[in-house]
Each structure stands twice: as structure tokens, then as C-alpha cells.
Chain A
């Protein structure tokens, strides 16, 4: 559906007395989302996962690298043509409280894009109304209750469903969900995740899921792919289950080790990994970007930066000279 090769993005910090410093958000990322597939990006904040999501949704351009949608490279196209391609990829924002226009009812919010579509395709006005109801039913809310209301009259979970319904008005082939459940109450989160999963299964919509909560990635697509991003570089990539149960990159291991253990239900993994120091973005080493914080670093790691590959015969790809699977995730405690 959409592939990217060698995507880089640098933000220039301006207005600083000393000229500011450049922040390299992405350092040559390759990705590939298949039709109907599920891909998850995980990483700490500032690792570039949101930037990548925005590039995929066409809201941000990259400095170098190429994005190809269904075989068409985006680089040579004019703005309008590019827009037509990116319309099929819709972004679902993190914050359902600010993603909806507070002065418009849900009816107005959903009706505007549908009416435009009806005009373009020569359908009747009644179709737009019917479609708005259909979409709301699809995302699991009662159209009769929601349509005449303003966003502030709805709960966070309902608003997020409305945002998803709005994204569906243009019949997208892919949804980019950037931390879409982090601001929603715990008991309702799973409902939104189940909805995304359901849309994927029923409509064949691809889902790109961006999160720092790895367990939710599992829920969206066990058959999906997981990308672990660290400082703008993919450090591990493979089938979700494999990366979670047998991670080989020390950064992935540190990330998974940090997940709280539900004591009483689970016990911690036997080989938990902890970074040796906190992240300091000012240091950009020529070697492995994680080397400074890595408890397993060797001289080799400091001299050269490893690239993504299957070195050591692992089922997943990784960027590490010393890949070794470790059991770091909490395991079910036997009752």
C-alpha cells in the first residue's frame, strides 16, 4: 500500500543566539505497510515516531527519501496530485478534545466532507445524511444521540469514535492512529482499540499504530509488524509477537523491561535490562546511537553504527552487533 525508503527529516532550531542546533528527527527510515496490514511504531517521546506518522499521512514532507503509494512515487508529483493520493490515508489525532471543532455539531462536522463527496460523485443529499448515520453506527455510537450534539457534550471515548467516523467519510484505505487511546479512560481504551481492529478486519483498512504502550500494539494486530524506533532510526523490526516475546536489541529489551509488572498476577521477566544512563540527545556518536546507554556495549559498538539486518540469524531484523534474545517481559504468575 505504502512504502518508504531512506526517509530523513531534520528540524532546524531557529531564533537561538548561537544559531540553534539541528534536530535530526529521522535518520534514514525504511517502512512498508501492506494493504490491510497492521504496523506499529513504538519508542520514547522524541524518537521520531510522530514525525514519521505525519509524513506517512502526507502532513509533513521529508528531506530525502522516497514514498511510494501503490506503485506511484510521490516525489515527482504536483501538490494536487499528491493530495489526491494522501487523501486515502487519514490521521487520527491523539487528543479527541481538540481534534473536533467546538462550534460545530457532530452533524455539521460529518456532513461537510460527505456533502462534498456527494457533489463530486453525483450522489444525492440524502446519501450524505444516510452515510453519516451509517458511519456512526459503524464506530459503535447511536447517531440519533450524537448527531445534534456539540463535542463538549460527549465523553472522550465518544469523541474519539466521532474522530474515527470523520476519518472514514473519505473511504480511506489506511488509518494512522497516533497515540489514539492515551487520553481516554482506561476502561474505555480497549473499546477504541477493538474498533480499529474491527475496521481492519471488516473493511480491510490498513492501520499504522503509533504508541509507547507496547501491549496495545499486540491487541491491534498479532499478525502485524512492530518497528522499534530509537532516535530516528529503526533498531528492531519484525512480527509483533516475535519482537515482544524474544527481543534481541538491548533498547527494545530496556523498553519492554520498563513496563510495570502487575504484581499478584504476573512476575517480572528474568533478564530485565536497564539503560546505564539517561538519554542525552546532545550526544550524537559515530557508533551505535544506543551504545552510551547500553549495558552490553563493546568497542565495536562505539566505532561503527550497525545497520538493520538479520545478523546472527534472528527471525526479526535488528541494528545491533550483539543480538541475543532475552526474556524481559512479565510472565503470568502461576496461581
Chain B
């Protein structure tokens, strides 16, 4: 066992491009994001916002036709992951950084029992004591409310969606990784199963002293478990700060619009408003100026030409020209 410590992560000026017939288009354009050690950070964004690309970059696992063009991803104890390659990189993945893939049902081998896959994982990382590994796995599964022995003897089709998701979390943690990335951990799960998985993520995070990153499109999921929240749009982090502050007093017009677009269980339902327009794709991303301006209620002349740089005040970071000009956030502004 390695000593337990939760690493901090600093992503700086990260640009990831995808090769398309129209040339190399940026999926991430100079993203900066800091994960404080021992915290749960959430990244929310719509499809095409670059959130999954950012998560893959933490493992330096962006696949062609994509590539990391510039920037760095520094993880405490590992250095700049972008510079790692070959065997060094393989050792980092799984052992230092655990990754729970989107749609856990598709990331398990249907032909092998969970136990066999666990042993494969152990061998590929040269674990000397495989029996101890199995013991750890059983303990972890038990901790998550499953019968460890039974699950290890099962094939994936014998497990429910919620159980597979827990197996995914177990495989990410069993090598004692202290940085864990969960990509859409609850998509396709039921409400009640989702609540269970989120509680497990939180409990395990605290018990094992992890740094956790959760990627989701569901504001509710992020609100439920995270300490700090980053909102992504069009390949940029447009707002980042403590979760309760970002939700309670959003500053970026996109965050404000997104929160207003969630139908809620109490209060006046007609206060919910759809955001006009639609999110940009790689091809329709504006080359200059703010990527959100087409849908923005606060659009100004400067937005057409200058991409707003993230400005940090205290614990909060916002990338918007309009913020800072105004005294209070325009929460009551009507959307067309």
C-alpha cells in the first residue's frame, strides 16, 4: 500500500484540437482549472461543451483524431501528465488516476467474470499479492452494499445497472488511486439508484481521502455531491466556484440560464425558462469573440470580437465581459 494522500490537479491553458475535413478545430480552447486536494469537483456542460475531452486529458488519453495541442495537466506526485508517454503513462492510469467510464454497462468485458477482470487489472499493473487485491475488492464492494464474493463470480449481464456502476467504481479504486474521474456516473440509472450511487461516491471519497472529479450534464447531480463546480460551454470553463455559491448566485449568463431552465418541484413552475438558441458544435463554434454571445441576454459590442478571459475574484472565476460591469447579477432578466 502506498501512503494515502489526495493530489491536487492544475490544468493550465489546455487546448485540445480534433482533426476534421475543415481543419483542426478546438474542442478545448485554453482551459484552466484547479482541483483542490481532497475535494469533489463537478464539471457541468451540455453535449459538445468539451467536458469529456477535459476528463480524458487528465489521463492524457485523448484519442486521434484529437490531440492535446498545448497546455499542461499537472498532478501532484506525477508532474505534467501531458509529457508522459508509453509505459510511464500506462502505469499512471489505473494506479494513480482511477477512471469510471460513462455507461459502465459497456465498459466491462461480457465474456469474463468481474473477478477475472480484476485479476487482469492486477497482473497488468504487476500487483504481487493478488489475493490481497481480491480481498480489497471484496471489501470495497461490501462497503458499497454489495455481496462482494457473489459479484466477483458474476458476468456483467447478471448485474443490474446500479451494480455495474459500483463495479466500475471498485475497479477505479482498487489499485489505491487517489485521483478519481467519474464520467456521467449516473446516466441511465433510476432516481433511487442514482441517489444511492451519489451517496456512495461521497462516502468513499471521504473515507479514502480522494480528489474526485465528476463530469455530468445534470445540474442536480453536481449540486448533490460536489464541493466546487465548474460550468463548461463551447470548450471553455465559463464559471467556477464553490457549488452552493455558483448555484445560489450564478454570475455567468449561461449558468444563470441553465439554472432557470431546470423545472423544479416547488415554487412557481412557470418561472422555468428555456435558453434560446442551441449549444455550438465543433463546426459552428465562432472563431473569435465570446462563444455564448448568440444566446446571451447581456450581449455587448465587445463580445463579438474579444473572447472574455477568466477573471478570478476570491474563490470564484467567471469569463464574461458583462460581469464586473454590473453591480448585481440580473436574475430577473427575461429571456425571449
Residues of A that sit less than 8 Å from B by CB? 44-45, 155-158, 185-191, 193-194, 212, 214-216, 218-219, 222, 244-245, 254-266, 274-275, 278-279, 329-333, 335
Contacts and interface: CB of A to CB of B under 8 A. Distances in A.
Interface in B214-239: 217-221, 223-224
Given A187-B275, A189-B261, A263-B224, A332 B219 contact: no
A214 B145 CA distance: 27
A332 B266 contact: yes
A218 B264 CA distance: 8
B216 to A, nearest CB: 10
Contacts of B191: 44, 212, 255, 258-259
Contacts, number: 128
Contact of B257 (A187, A214, A216, A219): A187
Given A191-B274, A265-B259, A218 B46 contact: no
B295 to A, nearest CB: 8
Most buried by A among B145, B245, B248, B258: B248
Contact of A330 (B190, B192, B245, B266): B266
A260 B198 contact: yes
6 A-B pairs with the lowest CB-CB distances in the bound complex, closest first: A260-B220, A264-B248, A264-B244, A264-B247, A190-B274, A258-B195
B218 A188 contact: no
19 contacts: A157-B278, A186-B217, A187-B257, A187-B279, A188-B278, A190-B263, A212-B190, A215-B262, A254-B192, A255-B191, A256-B265, A260-B194, A261-B220, A261-B223, A261-B224, A262-B223, A262-B264, A263-B243, A279-B192
B333 to A, nearest CB: 16
Nearest to B162: A278
Contacts of A215: 262-265
Contact of B272 (A157, A219, A256): A219
A330 B248 contact: no
Contacts of A266: 264, 266
Given A255-B191, A258-B194, A331 B266 contact: yes
Given A185-B46, A275-B192, A264 B245 contact: yes
Interface string B159-194: 010100000000000000000000000000011111
Contact of A262 (B160, B195, B247): B247
A45 B224 CA distance: 22
A264 B246 contact: yes
B243 A216 contact: no
Interface in B241-283: 243-249, 257-259, 261-267, 269, 272-275, 278-279, 281
B107 interface: no
